Amino acid sequence: MFHAVTLAIGFIVGGAMTQVARTFLPSGAVKEFFTTSVQPSVGPVSLDLVIIKFSLGPVALDVSLLSLLGVLIAYLIARSLF
Q: Report how many domains make up the chain.
A: 1
Compute CA 10 distance to the chain's CA centroid, rounded to the nearest angstrom: 8
Q: Is 49 helix (H, G, I), strand (E, B) or coil?
A: coil
Angle between helices 65-81 and 2-24 (to 10 degrees): 140
Q: Point out which residues pair with 45 in neighbouring strands.
A: 56
Q: Is 41 helix (H, G, I), strand (E, B) or coil?
A: strand
| Number of Cβ within a 10 Å radius of residue 21 | 17
pLDDT of residue 56: 85
Domain limits for position 15: 2-81
Q: What is the reported pTM?
A: 0.71
Whether 2 has a pLDDT exceeding 90, the answer reads no
At 32-73, the pLDDT tens digits run: 998 999 988 888 888 888 889 988 888 888 889 999 999 999
